[in-house]
């Protein structure tokens, strides 16, 4: 792990100077503001476009709708953007020669991969949790029945799902020369987890259920094994996969 602190500082500087941080912050800010607004006004818009019979079928919007909209945007859009960015985190730097330059300056391969994952994960969690506070504030302004704790909890669980899928993508990025290929594996894992979640036991008690869990927390009370087993197995899987990424990059022949 020689050079870990230096590599963390270097990676953080690269995030600050590049477009990655801007993309993530802008996406999360947009959805933090717009998710509650969309939930509040969408029924009214649909009612204005339909006949009187349709208006009677459209329920009044609630804070739960805002929380659900926020978690959907995180899972369906923000997470995919993060996977695409993570696909080039290691493979892109190897292709440009940046990784080789750093590795010849006293940074170990383990420190290089670890710093890449730590900085990426910290930025992901920090920006999403800050976004959840903004979304909770907007929800409180628009709805009387808001539950900020539920919204933040759903976002925290989404962070676990993000950690798992980012770990898979970083492993692919450490093993492959193609940024597109690494991102493709991450996106493929995203859809595989969704397919596995169709089987109820897998959805309840394994990492397969982690993608749907934030939405469930937004709409219902989830406790016991149905809450902690997907979270625990996802965290353990992410840790194992992250370690595998380090080992794969250690043994990889660089151009």
Rounded CA-CA distance 151/102 in Å is: 41
User: Do the Cβ atoms of 67 and 218 come closer than 8 Å?
Assistant: yes
Rounded CA-CA distance 73/140 in Å is: 19
Biggest alpha carbon–alpha carbon distance for the chain: 71
Tokens 């709805």 sit at which residue?
143
Rg (CA), the chain: 20
Rounded CA-CA distance 185/169 in Å is: 7
* Angle of helix 225-251 versus helix 148-175 axis, rounded to 10: 30
pLDDT given for residue 130 in this prediction: 96
C-alpha angle 237-242-248 in degrees, rounded to nearest 5? 125
CB atoms within 10 A of CB 65: 22
Report how far Cα 148 is from the mean position of its chain's Cα atoms: 20
Question: Which stretches in the chain have pLDDT values below 50?
Answer: none
Tokens 């087993």 sit at which residue?
229
Residue closest to 149 by CA, chosen among 28, 40, 63, 37:
63
pLDDT given for residue 54 in this prediction: 59
pLDDT given for residue 164 in this prediction: 97
Tokens of 145: 């029945």
pLDDT given for residue 18 in this prediction: 86
DSSP count for the chain of H helices, then E strands: 13, 0
pLDDT in tens, 14-34: 998 888 999 999 999 999 999
């Amino acid at each position: 792990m020689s050079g870990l602190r230096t590599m963390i500082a270097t990676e953080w500087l690269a995030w600050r100077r590049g477009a990655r941080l801007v993309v993530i912050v802008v996406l999360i800010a947009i959805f933090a503001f717009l998710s509650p607004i969309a939930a509040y006004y969408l029924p009214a818009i649909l009612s204005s476009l339909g006949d009187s019979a349709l208006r009677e079928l459209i329920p009044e919007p609630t804070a739960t709708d805002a929380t659900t909209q926020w978690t959907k945007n995180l899972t369906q859009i923000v997470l995919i953007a993060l996977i695409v960015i993570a696909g080039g985190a290691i493979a892109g730097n190897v292709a440009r020669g940046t990784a080789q330059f750093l590795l010849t300056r006293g940074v170990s391969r383990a420190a290089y991969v670890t710093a890449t994952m730590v900085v990426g994960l910290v930025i992901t969690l920090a920006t999403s949790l800050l976004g959840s506070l903004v979304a909770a504030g907007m929800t409180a302004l628009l709805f009387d029945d808001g539950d900020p704790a539920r919204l933040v909890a759903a976002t925290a669980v989404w962070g676990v799902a993000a950690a798992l899928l980012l770990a898979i993508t970083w492993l692919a990025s450490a093993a492959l020369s193609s940024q597109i290929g690494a991102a493709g594996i991450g996106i493929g894992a995203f859809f595989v987890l969704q397919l596995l979640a169709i089987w109820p036991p897998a959805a309840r008690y394994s990492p397969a259920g982690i993608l749907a869990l934030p939405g469930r927390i937004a709409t219902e009370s989830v406790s016991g094994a149905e809450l902690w087993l997907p979270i625990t197995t996802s965290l353990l899987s992410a840790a194992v996969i992250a370690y595998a990424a380090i080992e794969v990059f250690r043994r990889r022949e660089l151009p």
